[in-house]
Amino acid sequence: MKGTLLASVGGVYRVLLDGADLPVDASLRGRLKQEVRGGERLVAGDRVDAVQAEDGGWTVEHVEARSSELLRAGLRGRKAKVVAANVDQAVVVASVLRPDLSEELVDRFLALAELSDLPAVVVANKVDLPGGEVVARSLEARLAATGYPVVRTSIVTGEGIPGLAERLRGRTSVIMGPSGVGKSSLLNAVSPGLELRTGEVSQRRGGGRHTTVSARLVTLVGGGWVVDTPGFSDVTAWDPDPAELARAFPEFRSRAGECRFRGCRHLHEPGCAVKAAVDAGEVDAGRYASYCRMGVAE
Ligand SMILES: Nc1nc2c(ncn2[C@@H]2O[C@H](COP(=O)(O)OP(=O)(O)OP(=O)(O)O)[C@@H](O)[C@H]2O)c(=O)[nH]1
Ligand SMILES: [Mg+2]
Ligand SMILES: [Zn+2]
């Protein structure tokens, strides 16, 4: 029977068979196990074939080719890891306060989505907090030239929850963002009954403790799938391939063709159209600064 992998924890593969309401726990067929050890992991969102033995136990026999892969940071030259499969949009969640907005982290998550060929939406959560509106507005201004929609949300006032629900409906989305910004809380608000675990943001560090520990796929009331992920703290240490990086900034792409030199890295080259756009205020200087920092391996 065909189904979708929801999560895998410690060698147990939780599969929602097509048409079923409740998932089953399965193990892997020996051959697949070899492949998993070889580095090809099964991840949330994978489409699988599972069979039931006479004793009732389920085994995953086959994994289908993926239509998309969300890649996580290849850390310091290591191979990029696949975090989720067959997703069709990335939702990058930031909180305007508690933890404080990290614009560079937002840029990094957006770049990860771009390099995974996923369209992205940005969520500015916790706008109920005093001063939150101002921070949300600055984030919107920063991203104005990128084309990414920014949705303001609050699980306290309910602002933006219907809009977010609308964007998630009927699609398979992956929720990304730093720990403690409210990813699981938002999903609970969008789809009451999910009851994902949420956690207090630690006062001392303003975040950093992971309440969600592994990527898992959940179904939403009204249709749609979402992969809830733990905050990828290691995205901060991501060194993307500098040659690919400009592709990860949509507002650069339309200008890159006008640079004087082909293969322009948009750093110190003369006649760079991207830098000219930054100087003209058409491309946000903060976004450009993120680009420069991300392209430099430390
Ligand atoms: N004031 C306010 N607090 C919120 C809002 N959304 C979430 N929170 C709180 O923020 C804390 C962290 O929320 P989580 O949903 O666990 O955050 P997360 O992004 O899933 O965190 P990880 O699973 O660790 O990656 C909880 O105490 C939530 O109650 C919001 O809109 N406003
Ligand atoms: Mg969570
Ligand atoms: Zn250039």
CATH number for the domain harbouring residue 279: 1.10.40.50
Give the distance (Å) from ligand 3 centre to CA of residue 297.
19
Span 228-256, average pLDDT: 78
The closest-lying atom of ligand 1 relative to the alpha carbon of residue 210 is 24
Span 181-204, average pLDDT: 79
Span 254-258, average pLDDT: 92
The answer to whether 194 and 183 have CB atoms below 8 angstroms apart is no
- Residues 213 and 258 both lie in one domain: no
**pLDDT tens per residue across span 128-171:** 999 999 999 999 999 999 999 999 999 999 999 999 999 999 99
We report the CATH number of the domain holding residue 195 as: 3.40.50.300
More confident residue, 275 or 199: 275
How many domains, the chain? 3
- Residues 150 and 181 both lie in one domain: yes
Going by C-alpha positions, the residue among 148, 147, 158 that lies closest to residue 125 is 158
Q: What is the pLDDT of residue 11?
A: 84
* Residues whose beta carbon lies within 6 Å of some atom of ligand 1: 125-126, 128-129, 154-156, 177, 179-185, 198-201, 210-212, 230-231
pLDDT band at 93 (very low <50, low <70, confident <90, very high): very high
**pLDDT tens per residue across span 48-87:** 999 999 999 999 999 999 998 887 655 445 566 778 899 9
- Residues 9 and 82 both lie in one domain: no
pLDDT at 29 over 60: yes
The closest-lying atom of ligand 1 relative to the alpha carbon of residue 187 is 15
| pTM of the predicted structure, to 2 decimals | 0.89
- Residues 55 and 78 both lie in one domain: no
- Residues 48 and 98 both lie in one domain: no
Q: What is the pLDDT of residue 204?
A: 38
Cα 1 from chain centre: 29
Question: For residue 125, what are the domain limits?
Answer: 69-236
Ligand nearest to the CA of 98: 1
Q: What is the pLDDT of residue 298?
A: 43
pLDDT over 70 percentage in the chain: 85
The answer to whether 187 and 194 have CB atoms below 8 angstroms apart is yes
Q: What is the pLDDT of residue 40?
A: 62
